């Protein structure tokens, strides 16, 4: 009886370890990031994503504005680069916790955008001087709303 109990205890311990380690062992999130060929901050953003568990394929392009437009990102709301991940568009230097929030919540939107190139945002140099306002990219062409503030 004692031997059986030890076996069951060891089995339970191994099963618990596997269950706890499963998220760590999961495949990284796959993303494709389109950027201007000369832009180095976009490479910094891709490195930031990789450091946070994403597998990022970077594709230099001279058609970035067109890619963003086709993804539904309004012209005045476009960021520095355009990323596609899990059926969403993520435009600009959006912090990874906001990307993860999007992927966890799975809202009925096309994606999110952080317009421009805010100083201190992931991949950008400088110190953050104001809140980052991340907007929705709607599927129906309606005006974007605030998705998150960082």
Total of domains in the chain: 1
CATH number of the domain to which 109 belongs: 3.40.30.10
- Compute the CA torsion angle 84, 66, 74, 133 (nearest 10 deg): 50
Residue 143 lies in a domain: yes
Residue 18 lies in a domain: no
CB of 67 closer than 8 Å to CB of 34: yes
Average pLDDT of the residues in 86-92: 96
Residue 2 pLDDT level (bands cut at 50, 70, 90): low
Residue 21 lies in a domain: no
Give the integer Cα–Cα distance in Å for 90 and 84: 6
CA end-to-end span of the chain: 57
CB of 34 closer than 8 Å to CB of 81: yes
More reliable by pLDDT, 6 or 92: 92
Residue 5 lies in a domain: no
- 114 Ramachandran zone, left/alpha/beta (phi>0; psi -120 to 50): beta
- The per-residue pLDDT for 94 is 96
Residue 109 CB partners (closer than 8 Å, separation 6+): 88, 136, 137, 138, 139, 147
Residue 41 lies in a domain: yes
pLDDT tens for 116-137 read 999 999 989 899 989 999 999 9
More reliable by pLDDT, 80 or 22: 80
Is this prediction's pTM over 0.75?
yes
């Amino acid at each position: 009886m004692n031997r059986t109990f030890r076996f069951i205890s060891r089995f339970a311990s191994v099963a618990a370890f596997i269950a706890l380690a499963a998220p760590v062992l999961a495949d990284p999130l796959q993303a494709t990031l389109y950027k201007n060929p000369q832009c180095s901050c976009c490479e910094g953003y891709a490195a930031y994503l990789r450091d946070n568990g994403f597998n990022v394929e970077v594709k230099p392009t001279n058609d970035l504005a067109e890619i963003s437009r086709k993804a539904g990102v309004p012209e005045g709301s476009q960021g520095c680069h355009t990323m596609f991940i899990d059926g969403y568009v993520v435009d600009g230097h959006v912090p990874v916790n906001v990307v993860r929030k999007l992927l966890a919540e799975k809202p009925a939107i096309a994606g999110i955008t952080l317009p421009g190139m805010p100083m201190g945002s992931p991949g950008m140099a400088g110190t953050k001087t104001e809140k980052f306002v991340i907007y929705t990219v709607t599927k129906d062409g309606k005006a974007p709303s605030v998705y998150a503030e960082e």
